[in-house]
Amino acid sequence: RKEVEQDPGPFNVPEGATVAFNCTYSNSASQSFFWYRQDCRKEPKLLMSVYSSGNEDGRFTAQLNRASQYISLLIRDSKLSDSATYLCVVKTGTGGFKTIFGAGTRLFVKA
Amino acid sequence: DTGVSQDPRHKITKRGQNVTFRCDPISEHNRLYWYRQTLGQGPEFLTYFQNEAQLEKSRLLSDRFSAERPKGSFSTLEIQRTEQGDSAMYLCASSLPRGLAGTYEQYFGPGTRLTVT
């Protein structure tokens, strides 16, 4: 079993749709959680951190469920520019340096 | 540009040759990471530095791979006797020891794309 698992997609949605991605992790000692966005042939960029209480940044909402060991990302009112691969990231280890990326979920938003 | 920079951006080499990549982190970041990414996969952790100390090395990193960060600033990743399976994007990232709310955000460079023929 992979340490971090994501549905690879692709998710094809129309503009304005709401789309949700889930990610599961296997290490219950994991400490920090993030969503990164990666455009084709570009480097990953931090989208948002994921806090235990859940957090929102504009159209994006992230949730963490430690009991079930999953993380979610909700995108509301999808834009064409949201088309990208969304990477779930989990950190463990003393100081949180061991960083495990999921394989990513591809999103295509169409007009 | 005050972000993470990597050089070269592209490298094509013949099997058996040695290659070296450089990463310059964001200046105030004392943590530096190397990752490898292949098509359709997320970045895979290779190694990690805190200042000049290499604190962790993945089992993915064979003896042909070595990384250094001699003065705690820039880092180099060397691959000796390259193999076709080494073809990938090599990404460098840096971070502060602790970010907002105790998290450790990493900021990535543009990567070096290696092709071994």
Nearest CB partner across the interface for B104, out of A44, A91, A104: A91
DSSP string, A28-85: TT--EEEEEEE-TTS--EEEEEE-TT-EEETTEEEEEETTTTEEEEEE-S--GGG-EE
Cβ pair A46:B43 closer than 8 A: no
Does A2 touch chain B if contact means CB atoms closer than 8 Å?
A: no
Among partner residues A43, A46, A104, which is closest to B105 by beta-carbon distance?
A46
Q: Which helix (H) or strand (E) holds B18?
A: none
Three-state DSSP state, A95: helix
- Give residue-wise pLDDT tens across range A51-78: 888 899 999 999 999 999 999 999 999 9
B109 interaction partners in chain A (CB closer than 8 Å): 43
Band of pLDDT at residue A92, cut at 50, 70 and 90: confident
How many Cβ atoms are within 10 Å of A97's Cβ, its own excluded? 20
pLDDT tens digits along B19-78: 999 999 999 898 999 999 999 999 999 999 999 999 888 887 889 999 999 988 999 999
Structure token digits, residue A99: 């960083």
Confidence of residue B99 (pLDDT cuts 50, 70, 90): low
pLDDT classification of A96: cutoffs 50, 70, 90: low
Contact A1, A69 (CB under 8 A): no
